[in-house]
Every structure is written in C-alpha cells, then in structure tokens.
Amino acid sequence: MIPICLVTGFLGSGKTTFLKQIAARHADEKIVYLVNDFSPQDVDGALLEQVEDDVVTIPGGSIFCRCLVTQFLGRLRSIPERFGTDEQPVAGVVIEASGIADPAVIDEMLAETALDRVYEVATIVAIVDPASLPKLVTTLPTIAAQIRSAEIVLLNKVDRFDEAAVAAAEGIVREINPDAPIVRTVRCAAEVEIFAGGRVRALEGDYAPCADPNYARFSVGFERPVRLSALLDELSRARNDIYRAKGFVPTDGGIAYVDMSEAGLLAEAAPDATGETVLAIIARAKASHRVQELIGRLSATA
C-alpha cells in the first residue's frame, strides 16, 4: 500500500510552504507531490517544482468536487507506474488540496474506485493561521471541515500575531477538534511524521458542488512590466474583497512573486520563475463587480 499524506488549509495558510519543507527533508525518498490549486493557473505547482521534480498538478477547482474527481483519480492511478520503478517504487504521495476543499469524502472516494487497494490515507494535516481562522470559520464551512478531519493541526504564522490572537485561534481549533495535537509554527517548520498512519476514524462526506457560491475566480495577465508599488497599493485597498491573490508579475526590476491573503501582503523577487506571468485572484463572490474593476486598474499599472 502506498501511504497518502493529505494537506489541507484555507487559502494562504501555508500549504505549499509546508510541502517545500517536506520535499527538503525527504529529498532521498521517492515521494510524489500532487498539488490541487483552486485557481485556473498552476501557481502552487510552479513554486514546488522549483525544489522538487516529482510534481503532479490539478488546477481549476477542488479535487473533491465532481468536476475534477475523475481527473484526480486518473492522476492517482498513473502515479505508481509513472514515477516508480522496480528498484525504487513510490514511497508515498503528498496531496495538497485546494484551500476550499472539504476532505471528508476521500475515504469513500478511494473505496468506491478500488484505489483503497493501492493507497491508504495515513495522515491528514490541517494548516490554519490566526488571521483567517477567527474571521472566516463561521461563514465558510470548509474551514471547520478541514480541522475536523485532521490528525494534526499546524497553527502557522504565529510570529505575525500577539499571544492573545494565537491563543484565540488555538481555542477555535480545540472546539472543533479536541483530539488533534496543535503545533505552533513559523513558515510551517515542523517535524511531522507524514506517513505515520494509525488513523483512528474514517471520514464520511459528500462530493462538493462544482460551483461554490462563496467564491469567484479571476486572472490578470500582463503584457508589459508593471509598477510593483502601484499594484500592491491596489491590492491592499481591495483586501476586504479578496481571499487570496498570488502569482508571478513582470516588473521593471524583473519577475516578482506576489502573494496576498488574510495574513498579509508580500512581494519578492522570483528570478527562477518560468512560464506565464499571471496573477490569480480568488474573491468573495458578492464582490465580483468590484474585483472586475480592480483588474482593469491592475492591468493599467504599467
């Protein structure tokens, strides 16, 4: 059986950072990383591919919705033969689910497709941060579902918040899942036994609908370099309308990686970035018209 470590967490909580940590610690093992990005653009997969070769990407939705489940299962079926050899079979698969995913259906999904004869879900890790958790847990049910399904919870980005905010987030996690250990982390630095196994309960859930009414997705393409400071100012002013913005942006100083979530806004040089320069935005559905106007302004920051 090939063990699976399923990594969940809301948009911007730190899932890709955690996968990069795992890839660095397990560089000598044949581990395959399956990255599911809710955005149409494969931003997270591109980031992970900078440090790891064995990456499979599924952008454009949630692997636990009916729209992508066939593609997801097809990728899982192909992994042992595609990446493994007789001398070095696949030792495990780490799945980064999209930030909106409810993972409760995964056990049923594997069972009804007979993939439970090939794979076992060894560990589910949920990553949360003190910014988005208190603000959104009561309005977005998938956040609580991710925590409820977890064997371990990483409370990430604790260096950005005071003790009261961190303790409040811990209290929310405890209320949802009293049994899961909570590990406070900075940049997801934690020694987690990703294939430890020993799960004490199976999960039960339903496939998600293809169109989640809470979210709207947008992409911003750039035909020429932009003024980074102006773009960041525009994003900051739209913070209340946007759950997540991320991507590679051309600037006069080279390609920059831009990332905005509830925890903050950052931009850093990305000299090794290749491929399309595009900014993916996941917004509140009710703010779609304002985000459309924002996109027009972002494209004009050249």
Of 177, 127, 171, 168, which Cα lies nearest the Cα of 148? 177
Q: Which domain holds residue 9?
A: 2-184
In a domain, 224, yes or no: yes
pLDDT at residue 60, as a whole number:
74
Instruction: Mark whether 9 and 77 lie in a shared domain.
Output: yes
Three-state DSSP class for residue 21:
helix
In a domain, 202, yes or no: no
Tell me the average pLDDT across 258-271.
89
For the chain, the straight-line distance linking the first and the last C-alpha, in angstroms and rounded, comes to 52
Instruction: Mark whether 92 and 144 lie in a shared domain.
Output: yes
Instruction: Mark whether 31 and 171 lie in a shared domain.
Output: yes
In a domain, 207, yes or no: no
Q: How far apart are CA 153 and CA 70, in angstroms?
A: 29
pLDDT at residue 43, as a whole number:
63
What does the pLDDT look like over 278-287, one tens digit per residue? 899 999 999 9
CATH number at residue 266: 3.30.1220.10
What does the pLDDT look like over 63-82, one tens digit per residue? 888 778 888 899 999 999 98
In a domain, 31, yes or no: yes
In a domain, 292, yes or no: yes
Instruction: Mark whether 133 and 232 lie in a shared domain.
Output: no
Give the HSE-up count for residue 140: Cα atoms under 13 Å, Cβ half-sphere. 24
For residue 52, is pLDDT > 60? no
For residue 48, is pLDDT > 90? no
Instruction: Mark whether 122 and 235 lie in a shared domain.
Output: no
Exposed / middle / buried, residue 19 (Cβ in 10 Å: 0-12, 13-18, 19+): buried
Domain count, the chain: 2
What does the pLDDT look like over 173-204, one tens digit per residue? 999 999 999 999 999 999 899 998 777 667 87
Instruction: Mark whether 122 and 234 lie in a shared domain.
Output: no
Q: Which range has the worst mean pLDDT, 108-112, 201-205, 258-262, 291-295?
A: 201-205
Instruction: Mark whether 236 and 172 lie in a shared domain.
Output: no
For residue 237, is pLDDT > 90? yes
pLDDT at residue 213, as a whole number:
84
In a domain, 208, yes or no: no
pLDDT at residue 62, as a whole number:
83
Instruction: Mark whether 238 and 284 lie in a shared domain.
Output: yes
